[in-house]
Structure 1
Amino acid sequence: MLIDTHAHLNALQYEEDVEEVIDRARLEGVEKMVVVGFDRPTIKRAIELADQYEFIYATIGWHPVDAIDMTEEDLHWIEELTAHPKVVAIGEMGLDYYWDKSPKDIQKEVFRKQIALAKKVKLPIVIHNRDATADIVEILKEENAAEVGGIMHCFTGSFEVAKQCMDMNFYISFGGPVTFKNAKQPKEVAKQIPLDRLLIETDCPYLTPHPFRGKRNEPSYVKYIAEQLAELKEVTFDEIAQKTSDNALKIFDIN
């Protein structure tokens, strides 16, 4: 059993063939998928997919790149939607200093508001980080995010940062980049993450793993990430599949 903990099956790239993509994932042993909504259209679609398929779950939040667009009404709407039985986390949220659409102070404010919401509704959080590691760790500490914990999505940082996050009740999730031939740091870090803190994801349609790099990603490819982690950690594929699935069921509180 494999669980893709972060998929964007709600993206326009799947408009024509989402059913076939989901079927391929199931054939490859992907028993559950978590679809991530990060603005109004993608949140609506994530919940539609969760309603349509018993094995699909949704996380809902506001992406830092679009933080400038988020209103109090949006935040209230997200809070209302957390009552849905298949909404399993808040996010993706965080900071993104690569794109400059939303000023840093607004990103931070929206990030803090979403952490507060997660604590209020008692759901874990899914963290997006691009070029903002120090500020993210600082905010997680200041806002006592350890109370709900969560996932460091598509982690590419150092082991020191991973350890700080694990100490705050976070899981470390690896995606396609850990399979890239030149990905020295992610591979070294993955070796050091304890099995009981490890997750796998595709972030599809982005960050497609080797050997399909450059093509559209999809949940069936999560097995390549599991294979890479098994090799790096010198354990069997089945052990990685089992542990990462157990971890996903635990953090998302899926029975």
Structure 2
Amino acid sequence: MTSVALFDRRGASETIGFVFVFALVTASVGVIYTTGIGGLADAREDEQLTNAVRAFDVLDDNVADLTREGAPSRATELKLSDAGLGFGDPVTFEVQVNHTDTDANATYRANTRPLVYSGEAGKVVFSAGATFRVDGGSAAMRSKPGFLVDDRRSLVPLLVAYPQGGSGGVGGSSTVLVVTHRQSQQLDGEFDTGPDAADEARVNVTVESPRAAAWGRYFEAQGMTAIDGTADDGDVTYQFRTDHLLVSETVVEFDINA
């Protein structure tokens, strides 16, 4: 009887041990599966956003053909992967220039509609000649708008973009064609302090945009100085000094063809 009882106890112990081990393995596999699938989904969404950034890099090059080479239009192909493409709220630029010695001053303004790709991992935005990648609440400028800041001669190029006709937003997983049409290109103004001026003119550039912090970092990289506004309020103002200023304006239309 003793040997039988001992065998029963050992058998029960092995059975219980097997059940515990099996439960532990099953739970571990479940955790790994859930975590792994989530990680794969995050990686896929991030790659889709990266692909959208590359497509917007091509868009930026095509818009440059319009603004610098005089091309009438360019088409950019963009793959939507459970994402949307449309237009954001207007972004406002204001350029104020003042020369203390002569009391001469001038103001130039422009409003533009950003082109916005919205995916699960974030957004890609083309606005005023610059491309931004937006992850969460942080925006990073991917391509620059082409400001030239120098104490002798400076250029502020204003790119105004808006939807063509009834062109609106699209969504899904299709491939769309974004056609950019150049509508006009002109010199908004030229400001010169004159050969006898003792001081340069002060130029203030103000941007009202949800990506004001990224604009501020760009202006600082150009050697400009912050004088007003905060990124939290959605607007920043930066200043530089120059003898001669050119402000150009190019107007383009975006037509989204699904």
- Regarding TM over 0.5, the answer is no
Which structure is higher in helix share?
1
Which structure is higher in strand share?
2
Question: Per the shorter chain, which TM-score range?
Answer: under 0.3
